[in-house]
Structure 1
Amino acid sequence: MNVNTDSAQLAASAPKAINTHAVNAEQAKAVGKQFESMFMSQMLQHMFEGIKSEEGPFGGGHAEAMFRPMLLDEYAKMVSNRPGGIGLADQVTRSLLKNQEV
């Protein structure tokens, strides 16, 4: 027998590599929600840029500027945790699971 033929037969009969990065539907859903929350946070940041913090009820200042990103992150989590969110999480989840099947 030829060495090349033996190697080819051995490679063909070897078990396929296991995808250790495969995710189940629950993990894909969590990643989708996390992505949607991050996206909403970015959109809210752009929306709040036009608001002058010194005109607010508390007068703004350094502390308000420092805590605003955390507040916007919480707003984004609230929006994405609502039933259906904005629909982006479902799209990301489906895409992750579909690409994993290939």
Structure 2
Amino acid sequence: MTPTQPITQPAPPQPAPPTQHEAEMREAAVKLEANFLAEMLKHAGLGDTEGAFSGGVGEEQFSSFLRQEQSQLMAEAGGIGLAETIFEAMKAREAKNGSN
């Protein structure tokens, strides 16, 4: 009986690390998605204060901060995919214009 050699496959090529400019574009796209999500959460009623156990005027004044932070965390975790679409559109526009 002859020993068999394990079959190895070459590793897939690794994408180039993003440039500083691409990182800035991605960050801007995530912020835009976060702002969009914050507006959607606002119109959905997240943070509305009603009832006997509401925080009153103080809670109303600070609920926008909570919505913004929650939407930022959602966008950073992948959100609804809007940031990636915006980022790819910005990259395509720069490639078309030939600037970097």
* TM-score using structure 2 length: 0.68
Alignment match, 1:7: none
**Number of paired residues?**
77
Pair member with larger Rg: 1
The structure where helix makes up a greater share of residues is 1
Give the whole-Å Cα distance in 2 for the aligned partners of 1:68 and 1:61: 11
Report 1 or 2 for greater relative contact order, CA contacts < 8 Å, sequence distance ≥ 6. 1
Q: Identity rate of aligned residues, in percent? A: 25
Structure 1: runs of 5+ lacking an equivalent: 1-22
Aligned-pair CA distance for 1:60: 2.8
Cα deviation, 1:13-64, whole Å, max 9, x if unaligned, reads xxxxxxxxxx82111111110111000000000011794x13263x231101
Please report the RMSD computed on the Cα atoms of aligned residues, expressed in angstroms: 2.0
Which of 36, 39, 44 aligns to 2:36? It is 39
The one-letter code sitting in structure 2 at the alignment partner of 1:93 is F
* TM-score using structure 1 length: 0.67
Structure 2: runs of 5+ lacking an equivalent: 1-19
